[in-house]
Chains A and B, each alone.
Chain A
């Protein structure tokens, strides 16, 4: 029942291949719908941040949400992450309708995120910061961890191993023991990505991962995002301002303007969409 609904819904809104799963040009496997937003409306008092938006995120894809400033992108991401609960509409995740949730419940569902303004623990080392991403996976109690006893020790070792693999993956071995506060901006962003990855998420939300970066840092970050998607099969939803980056990275793009969805499709389709062009370049009034 749910499955069918999702299917019919998604076909009506975005140009999608006929079958559920398909393989992209570069050989990645895109699966069925993982998350679906249906007619979402989000209000803050009298301000309508998001107005009647529907779209879906498929298993294994890189999905971008773009739009001019104040379009409601971050609000949308917060709806996906469960931080905001929309007044109207439904959020479906892996075939279940999701009610209001606490952040830790969202994390347990397999959703992790990074923030637009870096939210790391400045005084802690890179390693410790990334370890915090594993908290959800630790089962031993407070006392056992404090005493470093039996299962707690084994668990810590396993978690450390997982974290070291991520450190290796993101090539930050040289700053493993450095306090985060001393790192340059681009590296902090990478550490934040590492922490999100440490939770082994199925869905990774990136809020402006390249904001404030120089060209070289952007290239690095783009490569890591693609690698994460490719190597771990993580589904990624990202918000980004840099159009070039978005168009190169994403499989499909949602375009928002003033809280409304004005475009949805592959980068090429979106690029040639007149509403999108108007929103970005302005409309000539004659």
Chain B
């Protein structure tokens, strides 16, 4: 019944945008999802009908204005519809991380007081039932996938399709009330509440209004000239602000198509089939892809390897210049065209990036070599800098001004200032309303004039006006001799090596820096296979002498490059060890967005840190781990600690220190 959602003139709510899209793009595809091997598609008109039916059904079940509805599941159109339907009813959608364990979920569900929970499948329903043992207040559980749900007690449980059917049946009775609730929505109504993963402490609920989301979407869609013809693949966690902005905010503002993959493990195939034109990924995804490509090239025949190496060299020289529209010689252009034919084209196609017009990476700094690799292929990959509290966008790079070491200029509508201590502050229409039920944190983050502290230290480059982020403001410290300590800077350099998945550099207040390193099982495992090195476990491979030798080479190469920067040369890694387990969000060592939690690691691996500084050559340790099914266990290991060569001034300093 799209006619009941006629445009209101002012596009001040998500349902209003939906109604406009029905009127303007009615028959264009709004959502696609691959199911049973086929891309199912919904036009804007069809999607609006589904969403309205769902909203009516939710009202019939008793969803009231001001209620919170938690949504836990993978990216599916039904879950996006759930978020929009909740807003239509005047309620607030709260998407959660689907891989969160029950106890993490319990905190959030209790904190927001969710009365309704929308689950993707049986697994999520089971978790919610577990949460219910400790948390009261959940009244209705909805689920999308019926599989395995037949035997559950359905007195407070419904399949989403049934809710929609009931909603359709009640359209005449509840329709007018729903229209009243939709009409009551304005720019100040809450659009969504997202919990920040929080590198420290408990997650905080960030309240974002329609103004935050819609203004930000409008400004940034204009910045990159997004149109209704864009295709995006929605695969990032729904609980993450980026996915909300791309798959809901910008998608509704620009009217483009949101494609949902069949599942996480079919993502690469689905992406190739869709060929997104607008793509977003955290550096980790690009790193992972690059590692896979490199591994496969090493396994390829000699001719292919030569072709790849030769043309990647050409690409490195010519690609970025061509992408930025700078002049290049005729010979170079010809070589590049050949390369496109033989290497770049097929490679981009394999990665599903052939049609990308605008690509973004954010969340963490990306290794310059990785960044340049993609740009040299002719993919317009850019960086942006943002956070949940800003509705993502703080700065972004305009086309033609892309560099790996800056994060760009302020996004449209965003004001920036740098505090005395180097911390970056911003003020924008996207600035969050408040932290839910947490006025103290709100007050300490956002001042009366609306300036928000990012927690990151950075500076503007004089020549270009681009912002450069050095590190988390609280992570930037001083070494014992007073020189600057910026762990992220070194870690990012280490992580560029395919063999290194994660690195934690320690050194604040110390005489010298040390590092704990996680190997990448994919890359190192492949190397072991090719060199006939047998191993039974991650732990055994991580402790292999040859692996240590390789990692030491990487560490020393990084030291050499760090030594070139006089400001940061003190951050060279003097001693390192290779960890016996992968850092894991389930063990609390990383956030769900896979950022290292330094405090947790320093505490949990205190014995290892001590050993790194007391000069011992090996250390015995016991570590608690959480398995995927939630069980807890312990692993024990004896880890070697090795010295790495340092360069420049640091060389002398170390000798002096000893």
Residues of A within 8 A of B (CB): 26-27, 127, 160-161, 164-165, 167-169, 171, 173-174, 176-177, 227, 230-231
Contacts and interface: CB of A to CB of B under 8 A. Distances in A.
A156 B175 CA distance: 43
A173 B35 CA distance: 9
A161 B147 contact: no
Contacts of B266: 173-174
15 contacts: A127-B37, A160-B37, A164-B36, A164-B37, A164-B38, A167-B37, A168-B36, A169-B147, A173-B263, A173-B266, A174-B262, A174-B266, A176-B37, A230-B151, A231-B147
A230 B147 CA distance: 11
Given A26-B151, A173-B266, 6 more contacts: A127-B37, A164-B37, A173-B37, A173-B265, A174-B265, A177-B269
Nearest to A178: B269
Nearest to B36: A164
A171 B123 CA distance: 14
B331 interface: no
Closest 7 A/B residue pairs (Cβ): A164-B36, A174-B265, A174-B266, A164-B37, A173-B262, A173-B266, A27-B151
Contacts of A160: 37
Contacts of A173: 37, 262-263, 265-266
A26 B152 CA distance: 11
A171 B147 CA distance: 12
Interface string B119-160: 000000000000000000000000000011011000000000
Interface string B241-272: 00000000000000000000011011001000
A152 B80 CA distance: 38
A26 B262 CA distance: 31
Interface centre among B36, B148, B269 (most CB of A within 10 A): B36
- Interface residues of chain A: helix, strand, loop or mixed (majority): helix
B405 to A, nearest CB: 37
Contacts of A174: 262-263, 265-266, 269
Given A173-B262, A173-B266, A174-B265, A161 B36 contact: yes
Interface centre among B35, B37, B148 (most CB of A within 10 A): B37
- Interface residues of chain B: helix, strand, loop or mixed (majority): loop
B566 to A, nearest CB: 49
A135 B148 CA distance: 28
A26 B269 CA distance: 39
A173 B265 CA distance: 8
Nearest to A227: B148
A227 to B, nearest CB: 7
A160 B35 CA distance: 13
A160 B36 CA distance: 9
Nearest to A162: B36
Contacts of B150: 231
A230 to B, nearest CB: 8
Contacts of B36: 161, 164-165, 167-168
Interface in B450-496: none
Contacts of A27: 151
A177 B35 CA distance: 15
Interface string B53-75: 00000000000000000000000
Contacts of B262: 173-174
Contacts of A161: 36
A165 B37 CA distance: 9
B393 to A, nearest CB: 33
Contacts of A227: 148
Nearest to A160: B37
Nearest to B269: A174
Nearest to A165: B36
A161 B37 CA distance: 9
A167 to B, nearest CB: 7
Contacts of A177: 269
B630 to A, nearest CB: 14
Contacts of B37: 127, 160, 164, 167, 173, 176
Contact of A231 (B35, B148, B265, B269): B148
A267 B522 CA distance: 42
Interface centre among A26, A167, A173 (most CB of B within 10 A): A173
Contacts of A176: 37
Nearest to B629: A219
Interface string B1-41: 00000000000000000000000000000000001111000
Contacts of B265: 173-174
A174 B147 CA distance: 19
Nearest to A168: B36
A140 B482 CA distance: 83
A231 B38 CA distance: 23
A171 B145 CA distance: 13
